[in-house]
Amino acid sequence: MGLNAGHKVLARTHIFPVRVYYEDTDAAGIVYHANYLRFAERARTELLRDLNIRQRELAIQDGLQFVVRSCEIQYLATARLDDELTVESRITLIRGASVKAKQLIKSEGRHLVRMEILIACVNRVGSPVRLPHHVRSALGGRMLNRLRDRGEWQQ
């Protein structure tokens, strides 16, 4: 996989490439466990950007932000300096004020990390608020159509 390929949405899964840099590793040369969360965050941000959802604009214009409500993570194998990784992100549930995503970090076909993340939409004071229509529409329209067709989508 070449990192120049960039990120893309294939069917229902968003693919985001990551290279492991020295700053991502610990003294043993393996990726520090918390950095997988950073890779996943970048992938979710790019997923939104690819759907024309700009978090900065939401924050400035609408006073809305996305925050992680919960995260379940399973570490299956390690990545090392200079490895090329892919982060696969899939929206699995959209509710009034939250979105659930599954993310898988892989290297050369090996599953390294599995995550299930619940993201809440909150206002400036941190109270939950409904997802804006255009966000629901973008996530639901592009990411969930195939899930719905297969009976895998939950409301």
Whether 78 is in a domain gets the answer yes
Q: What is the DSSP string of 72-104?
A: EEEE-S--BTT-EEEEEEEEEEE-SSEEEEEEE
Residue range(s) defining the domain that contains residue 126: 3-149
Query: Tokens 């939409």 appear where?
Result: 121
Known catalytic residue: 83?
no
Whether 154 is in a domain gets the answer no
Cβ atoms of 114 and 76 closer than 8 Å: yes
Whether 14 is in a domain gets the answer yes
Q: What's this model's pTM, rounded to 2 decimal places?
A: 0.82
Whether 155 is in a domain gets the answer no
Whether 81 is in a domain gets the answer yes
Q: Tell me the CATH number at 67.
A: 3.10.129.10
Tell me how many domains the chain contains.
1
Whether 120 is in a domain gets the answer yes
Q: In a structure prediction context, what are the per-residue pLDDT tens digits for the chain, which is 155 residues long?
A: 443 345 444 447 899 999 999 999 999 999 999 999 999 999 999 999 999 999 999 999 999 999 999 999 999 999 999 999 999 999 989 999 999 999 999 999 999 999 999 999 999 999 999 999 999 988 886 555 544 444 434 43
Burial of 84 (0-12, 13-18, 19+ CB in 10 A): middle
| pLDDT given for residue 25 in this prediction | 96
| pLDDT given for residue 140 in this prediction | 81
Q: Which of 24, 26, 82, 149 is catalytic?
A: 26
Query: Tokens 């520090």 appear where?
Result: 32
Whether 134 is in a domain gets the answer yes
Backbone angles phi, psi at 23, to 5 degrees: -65, -20
| pLDDT given for residue 58 in this prediction | 94
Whether 86 is in a domain gets the answer yes
